[in-house]
Chain A
Amino acid sequence: MSFIKSKFRHPRLPVNDLGLTYRDYEGALSTLCAGCGHDSITSAIIQACHELSIQPSEVAKLSGIGCSSKAPNYFLNKSHGFNSVHGRMPSVATGANLANQELLYLAMSGDGDSASIGFGQFAHVVRRQLNMVYMVANNGVYGLTKGQLAATADKGVKNKAGELSLFTDIDLCVMALQLGASFVARSFSGDKQQLVPLIKAAMSHKGFAFIDIISPCVTFNNHVGSTRSYDYVHDHITTAAVVDFVPIKTEITSGYHSGESEDVCLHDGSIMRIQKLTDSYDSTNASQAIMEIEQQKQQGKILTGLFYLEPTASDFHEINNTNDTPLNKLTQDALCPGNRVLAGINDSFR
């Protein structure tokens, strides 16, 4: 772990459309363990935001409690962030989004935060179709309290202390699919090629976008016998669909060239090119995605990639019919009915 962050910047760092370099998207120095998967997620987020020329001040970062929830401090220094209480980030995100729908809400959570203490809040924010990107750094273990098993740890595995996971594990992607999320994907912190386009697509998607990111804990869950170790994940990963993200106004030149690819136009006009790798993959069928995840799991495989996408999904504000002007920008004139109206109301109580 480093203690000093260099202020030196290479004069010829590439700039994006906003004239910002990759380093303009960085945050504070990470205090996570060296080799932590979460730091790779951080760098994937930085890369995605830089490449998409996202204005950092237009992003709001949200998290709960845990190693994962510290991560937002390590990216996008020029964005406001809210590190809330354990398992309750979804409600804080809901309030923030209700107040101002114009920001991009990037949320980081963990397996304890979302699958245990915050399972209820997770389920309900999915139902609410809040327009946000909800990422879970999933390592199957409680890091900050030193290695207890999480609810996402596979049944039958042992933690570092030798304790056996006795109960059925929770698959948050299956939950999200079941609860009506309009964008559901799984990735691996060690596979930036897959992760970066998925994050870009999730950020461009309007509606609730969920990415479960397997992110090995080098300190407490990287041992033989763990199903969330780097080695295990490398050996058992399989992919439903590879995604290439083509931002709006960009000429489509690259991508996976095969007869199996499909272009999906997202809400903001950008294109997601999906190449399916398993025969049964269908990005528009949530129940089939659930079956596919379960089948691969039974074969000892971890299925990753884009599972489901509903490109024309609606979000909370559409359903609520909220004014296009964010609620936090409405003036007193628009909000307060005034004395003349009050006189009539007083009369109704006489």
Chain B
Amino acid sequence: MTKNTVNSDVPAQGKMQEKSPEKSPKKAPDNAIVNEFVVRFANTNGTGSASANNMFAKAILRMGIPVSAKNIFPSNIQGMPTWYEVRISEKNYLGRRGGKSEMLVAMNAQSINDDITSVKSGGYLLYDSSRTLFDSQIRADINYLGVPISNICLKEYSDPRQRQLFKNVVYVGALAALLSMDFTLLKGLVRDQFKGKEKLITPNIYALELGYQYANEHFICPLAIHVESRDLINKRILVDGNTAIGLGAVFGGATVTGWYPITPSTSVIEKFASYCQRLRIDPASGKKNYAIVQVEDELAAIGVAIGAGWNGARAFTATSGPGISLMTEFLGLAYFTEIPFVLINVQRAGPSTGMPTRTQQADIIACAYASHGDTKQILLFPDSPHECFELGAQAFDIADQLQTPVIIMSDLDLGMNDHLSEEFVWQDDKAFQKGKVLSAQQLDEVEVFGRYLDVDGDGICYRTLPGTHTEKGAYFNRGTSRNHFAGYTEKSADYVDNMDRLTKKFINAINYLPEPEIQKGKKSAQLGLIFFGTTSHPIMEAIEQLKEHGLSVDTLRIKAFPFHQSIEQFIEEYSFNNKQIFVIEQNRDAQMKSLLVNELQIDPNKLASILNFDGLPITSHFIVQAVLAQLTANQAQQKTG
């Protein structure tokens, strides 16, 4: 086989990008793609690539260009392939696009063969040319950018760890030159990132410069694909959903959490803890206005939340996958005994251990009906960090007002990836809604107290907290059937009365829950798309593409369960006009469709499903292809029929 090195041999096939001295590096090629492409980084996990890749994305953001990043990582600590996909889009298409990427940074010998095939024709492969590529790795239709990254680091650094870590910074420096990034801004970002660790600033900037210089000296910069500064970010922020929920819990007044580590929910609690350390220390005493316990398992985690909720503290826990299964018994207890708390479910690919570091929306049914017996749980479906923060705080009001668990249904994509999101908003004059909790004075005024007396007729009863009153208001909270006064009973009439009241409460719950987001054109559209959570990210792009196919689209984004009436109306309107409605989900079994059909008594044939469950965030390509395929199939059926 022929060996190719970057500085000597030009490969027989493929275009080795080399700069001829007479060409001006500042002149952009005519076929330029500006601010509308995907850069994919192929790394090995545990090599420190994450922070360098993140720095790359953040630099694009600071140039005022909309950007999103997906970390596609293994359930492993060190040595396995990991990818980081940065979408740069001044059209604000920030979901995954699908298809091949315009630029690939190949830093992992293990995955390089597959990585090379994932480059778009005419695209670029930035690789470490310290090792030569094989002939089989040369594609004629892509451009090769060889930077001897390992050799540079070997020469410049003596510490083995530094040699490894700075490789990542060197390629970011090279990209800065190739893509025409604002280098001053990038250096400023390094200073920000290492604030407090000043010793690291100079070597990092030096590594950036090494890559930057090498690229400038050896390639025509910028490439045909590159970035140009814009002012398109406005007030948006780049942040992950788990951070947003953790912060939301601080603002929402959560004080108690029991938790057990599990990917991808762990960072919800870690972020909550780190914000508490900053924002929740009593200024007078220096003591904590919160209590976080890492407990023995998920059973205990939810038990802690329930114990605290019963005792009047705002409490929550976060979990994923198997943790949800373990918590279901307690969810039934909290539903039946009407104890408020918040559960964050950062969904991952199941069943069983499944793919712990891949995303799905496959816990819808398990959570909506969590626990044995007749149970129904309140679900919230945020789609952005902004909403994670908002609902992360609001969920405590909802739980307290409804006296029941509230489950926030996030997913790995939303929770762990950075998303460009509207900034977090808080209104200082908005008071916590603590619901129907009787004070000692109110108890004095009440003639008869019954924990399960439906005084207001809305199915929501008055509760009391331990220690409120010396004479009145005490009751025995129990998972067994009870009468209006919390006394044990096995009388059928009492049992049915209680279950009926719980149904009434659940129906009334929609008054406390966010309405669906409906987007309709002036004229009735040809298609209706129903979706929830992270599926909203590629929707805008999918709609534009469907328009190119002559299809107009209305959309409905579900934000909560139980369902508002407007969802039923939306579906009825379309089916009345004999148009197609798609429910787009990231699971195999069309769980949201099942829930809609079951709860709204809808004819299942009125709803078609688009199901992506490969563990990666759903793409606009996938949605468009699925819609077109289904419509084609329908037409074929009509012809034959």
Contact = CB atoms under 8 A, between A and B. Distances in A.
A167 B304 CA distance: 32
Given A124-B295, A323-B288, A346-B237, A96 B307 contact: yes
B427 A82 contact: no
Interface residues of B, number: 74
A338 B287 CA distance: 20
A223 interface: no
Contacts of B300: 88, 90-91, 94, 120-121, 124
Interface string B219-230: 000000000000
B492 interface: no
A330 interface: yes
B497 interface: no
A85 B479 contact: yes
Interface stretch (B470-478, B566-574, B597-605, B630-638): B470-478
B431 interface: yes
Contacts of A342: 251, 424-426
Contact of B308 (A28, A95, A345, A349): A95
B490 to A, nearest CB: 12
B423 interface: yes
Interface stretch (B19-27, B176-184, B252-260, B539-547): B252-260
A323 B251 contact: no
Interface stretch (A71-79, A192-200, A248-256, A283-291): A71-79
A91 B237 contact: no
5 contacts: A91-B258, A91-B299, A96-B307, A96-B311, A349-B239
Contacts of B432: 332, 336
Nearest to A317: B291
Interface string B425-446: 1111001100000000000000
A95 B256 contact: yes
A85 B329 contact: yes
B412 interface: no
Interface string A83-102: 11100101111111111101
Interface string A48-63: 0000000111101100
Contacts of A102: 467
A335 interface: yes
B488 A327 contact: no
Interface string B295-312: 111011111111111111
B470 A336 contact: no
Given A94-B303, A330-B289, A341 B480 contact: no
B206 interface: no
A141 B432 CA distance: 48
Nearest to B478: A83
A4 interface: no
Nearest to A102: B467
Interface of B: 61-62, 233, 235, 237-239, 247, 250-253, 255-256, 258, 279-280, 282, 285-291, 293, 295-297, 299-315, 329-330, 333, 423-428, 431-432, 464-471, 474-480, 487-488
B293 A120 contact: no
A320 B61 contact: no
Contacts of A323: 282, 285, 287-289
A16 interface: no
A342 B250 CA distance: 11
Contacts of B296: 120-121, 123-124
Contact of B307 (A28, A95, A322): A95
B470 A93 contact: no
Nearest to A323: B287
A174 to B, nearest CB: 20
A321 B288 contact: yes
B388 to A, nearest CB: 13
Given A57-B467, A95-B308, A323-B285, 8 more contacts: A82-B307, A90-B303, A91-B303, A99-B308, A123-B296, A323-B287, A327-B256, A346-B424
Nearest to B290: A327
Contacts of B303: 84, 88, 90-92, 94-95, 121
A121 B299 contact: yes
B466 A80 contact: yes
Nearest to A93: B307
A80 B476 CA distance: 6
A99 B252 CA distance: 16
Given A100-B311, A328-B312, A350 B304 contact: no
A78 B474 contact: yes
Contact of B477 (A83, A93, A321, A350): A83
Contacts of B252: 336
A28 B255 CA distance: 34
B279 A79 contact: no
Given A93-B307, A350-B237, A350-B238, A80 B426 contact: no
A279 interface: no
Contacts of A325: 282
A259 interface: no
Contacts of A128: 293
B488 A73 contact: yes
B304 A94 contact: yes
A235 interface: no
Contacts of B285: 323-324
A94 B258 contact: yes
A100 B425 CA distance: 31
Nearest to A337: B279
Contact of A94 (B233, B307, B470, B479): B307
Given A78-B471, A339-B428, A350 B62 contact: yes
B466 A91 contact: no
A100 B282 CA distance: 16
B541 to A, nearest CB: 24
9 A-B pairs with the lowest CB-CB distances in the bound complex, closest first = A95-B307, A91-B303, A99-B313, A80-B466, A349-B237, A95-B308, A92-B307, A99-B311, A95-B304
Given A88-B299, A121-B296, A121-B300, A81 B288 contact: no
Given A85-B479, A99-B256, A322-B287, A332 B431 contact: yes
A334 interface: yes
Contacts of B431: 332
Contacts of B315: 95, 99
A103 interface: yes
A338 B291 CA distance: 20
A207 to B, nearest CB: 16
A95 to B, nearest CB: 3
Contacts of A91: 258, 295, 299-304, 307
A328 B428 contact: no
Interface in A115-130: 120-121, 123-124, 128
Nearest to B240: A349
Contact of A350 (B61, B258, B293, B469): B61
A321 to B, nearest CB: 5
A324 B289 CA distance: 9
B4 to A, nearest CB: 42
A322 B288 contact: yes
A55 B470 contact: yes
A78 B306 contact: no
Interface string A288-324: 0000000000000000000000000000110011111
Nearest to B465: A328
B474 A98 contact: no
B307 A327 contact: no
A335 B431 CA distance: 12
Contacts of A98: 255-256, 291, 293, 304, 307-308, 313
B57 to A, nearest CB: 12
B472 to A, nearest CB: 8
Contacts of A77: 474
Nearest to A89: B303
A221 to B, nearest CB: 24
Contacts of B295: 91, 94, 124
A57 B238 CA distance: 49
Nearest to A330: B289
Task: Choose among A72, A80, A99, A121 the residue with the greatest number of B CB atoms under 10 Å from its CB.
Answer: A99
